Amino acid sequence: MTENRTRALLHWVLGGWVLLVIAAAFFYAPSAAGFKGESARIVFFHVPQAWVAVLAFCVNLVASIRYMRKRNPLDDARAAAAARLGLVFSVLATVTGSIFANVMWNSFWNWDPREVSIVILLLIYAAYFALREAIPDEERRASLSAAYAVLAFVTMPFLVFVVPRIYWSLHPDTIIGAKGNLKLQMDSRMLQTLLGSLVGFTGLFVWLYTLDVRLARVLLARRGREEE
Amino acid sequence: MRTSNLLSEIAAVLAKEFTSELRSRVALNAIGLFGLTTLIAVAYQIGPYQIQEADRPHLLSALLWIILFFAATSGLSRVFVKEEDAHTAKTLRLAARPLAVLGGKYLFNLVLLVALFALIVPLYCALMGYGVRGVAGLLLVLLSGALALSATATIVAAIIARASGSTTLFAILSVPLVLPLLVMLIQGTRAAAASSELAAVLPALQGIVSLGGAVIVVSVYLFPAVWHD
């Protein structure tokens, strides 16, 4: 009972926080110089969406490794839940990035290395689900998709860190420079809003992920009872 | 003693692959003919004179790797798919340890890729009028590309072999994994074509070798779970 109350309270806090972030993105943060109109405000949503897509990829990796070590079906459900959310957030990051690109550079797609990297992340998630769909046996599906998830994770550092350094990018450089110096230069109110949004989107991911895993746990328990 | 045993097991798996491939020649024919057909189509439609001089370095290196990669995907998955189709996978599981199976099949795919490159690259240079200043640099890029591509193709082939519609799945699963590698290979080929200095291809080579190495290391850890699943 107490757990349910805490959970309900956390939902209200998360809802309030997200509403606050939306309000701050439009009314608290000032307009950014050097951008067309109010287009820069999309950063408060685009960056956290891309962050959650990558976070989901990491959660998927951890759950996949755990499955390969312990063969617990719940870990497979965790990996699949993270991948599902990762797919949704990478689509959102791609769409918001394209809208911003069209406003700024009159083109929805510019083949920027970071644009390409989020699309490849999206393709990896899609391939992960294509693999899962193609294997009817549950245990085999879990172990082979876990292996693919681990393998896919190996290519990500090359996409995120190596390829953007070979090709010129429209995106700003990473927050931490090559010499370890902090390169983020942003108005403090914009920074507060961006950090708040990162926290809000991370909370949203945790909530949706927990919901999906709880559902999987119930389904697994029901199937266990049916098999008995 | 253990290492020599492993090496002899790898050699035995490799010899088995060659024997069975020379019997049917399915992968050899698929890769070679796919590569030749695509090359002829590209050379016939574009040829050496259809591309503007300024665009040649970018387009010719990209076209070369598109031909090589898609020709490779038509045959590299067979190393594991044929074991499932012929119901010989269980026997192979009993006969050799996982690392030997992975090593033998990886080396077989590597030989197939090197043969494909040896057939297509000189023909491509001749038919498309692709002048390469740094031949040594290009050879290094091709060799490192073959090492990295066959590593990715072998482990993906092992993953998809036991899924339904495995040939289609191979392309779906390998393309996102291979894309960063292809980007670096295209960049390295372009650099080799433009300069005779080996230093020109070094940045791309570093990326290709480290990605290939990372995939090989991960494959060694993943393969026993995939193979004995």
Structure tokens at B165: 């519609």
For residue B2, what pLDDT is reported? Answer: 64
* Residue indicated by tokens 């389904």: A219
> What secondary structure letter does DSSP report for B162?
T
Select the residue of B156, B163, B184 nearest A135 (Cβ to Cβ). Answer: B163
- pLDDT band for position B10 (cuts 50, 70, 90): very high
Select the residue of B159, B214, B225 nearest A154 (Cβ to Cβ). Answer: B214
Domain boundary assignment for chain B: 2-227
CB contact under 8 A, A120 and B176: yes
**How far apart are alpha carbons B183 and B180 in whole angstroms?**
5
Q: What's the total number of domains in chain A?
A: 1
CB contact under 8 A, A144 and B226: yes
CB contact under 8 A, B163 and A134: yes
Query: Structural domain of residue A130, as residue ranges?
Result: 2-227
CB contact under 8 A, B204 and A68: no
Residue of chain A nearest B206, judged by CA positions: A162
Query: Does position B132 have pLDDT exceeding 90, yes or no?
Result: no
- Cα-flanking dihedrals φ and ψ of residue B170, to 5°? -55, -45
pTM, two decimal places = 0.86
**How far apart are alpha carbons A95 and A92 in whole angstroms?**
5
Residues B180/A158, Cβ–Cβ less than 8 Å: yes
CB contact under 8 A, A151 and B176: no
Residues B178/B77, Cβ–Cβ less than 8 Å: no
For residue A144, what pLDDT is reported? Answer: 93
**Residue B162 identity:** R
Residue B97: beta bridge partners? none
For residue B147, what pLDDT is reported? Answer: 95
Structure tokens at A112: 């920027």
CB contact under 8 A, B180 and A150: no
- Cα-flanking dihedrals φ and ψ of residue A98, to 5°? -65, -40
Structure tokens at A169: 């990018």
DSSP chain A: -HHHHHHHHHHHHHHHHHHHHHHIIIIISPPPTTSSTTGGGGHHHHHHHHHHHHHHHHHHHHHHHHHHHH--HHHHHHHHHHHHHHHHHHHHHHHHHHHHHHHHHS-S----HHHHHHHHHHHHHHHHHHHHHH--SHHHHHHHHHHHHHHHHHHHHIIIIIHHHHS--SSPPPSB-TTS-B-----HHHHHHHHHHHHHHHHHHHHHHHHHHHHHHHHHHHHHHHH-
Residue of chain B nearest A70, judged by CA positions: B225
A21-24 long-range Cβ contacts below 8 angstroms, 24+ apart: A21/A193, A21/A196, A21/A197, A21/A200, A24/A192, A24/A193, A24/A196, A24/A197
- Measuring CA to CA, which residue among A36, A30, A29, A163 is closest to residue A102? A36
CB contact under 8 A, B176 and A158: no
**How far apart are alpha carbons B80 and B159 in whole angstroms?**
9
For residue B118, what pLDDT is reported? Answer: 95
Spans of chain A below 50 pLDDT: 175-180, 182
- Measuring CA to CA, which residue among B74, B229, B75, B92 is closest to residue B162? B229
Neighbours of A187 (CB within 10 A): 13
Is the sign of the CA dihedral B2, B3, B8, B9 positive or negative?
positive
Which chain A residues have any C-beta within 8 angstroms of a chain B C-beta? 68, 116, 120, 123-124, 126-127, 130-131, 134-136, 139-140, 143-144, 146-148, 150-152, 154-155, 158-159, 162-163, 166-167
| pLDDT tens string B35-76 | 999 999 999 988 888 888 888 888 999 999 999 998 998 888
Select the residue of B163, B176, B218 nearest A150 (Cβ to Cβ). Answer: B218
* Residue indicated by tokens 């070094």: B202
Structure tokens at A31: 């307009």
**How far apart are alpha carbons B184 and B208 in whole angstroms?**
6
| pLDDT tens string A171-225 | 655 544 444 454 556 788 888 999 999 999 999 999 999 999 999 999 999 988 8
For residue B36, what pLDDT is reported? Answer: 93
By the 10 Å C-beta count (0-12 exposed, 13-18 middle, 19+ buried), A30 is classed as exposed
| pLDDT tens string B182-215 | 988 999 999 999 888 889 899 899 989 999 999 9
ipTM field: 0.87
For residue A16, what pLDDT is reported? Answer: 94
- pLDDT band for position B104 (cuts 50, 70, 90): very high
CB contact under 8 A, A163 and B180: yes
- Cα-flanking dihedrals φ and ψ of residue A126, to 5°? -65, -40
Q: Which residues contact B69 (CB under 8 A, 6 or more apart)?
A: B149, B178, B182
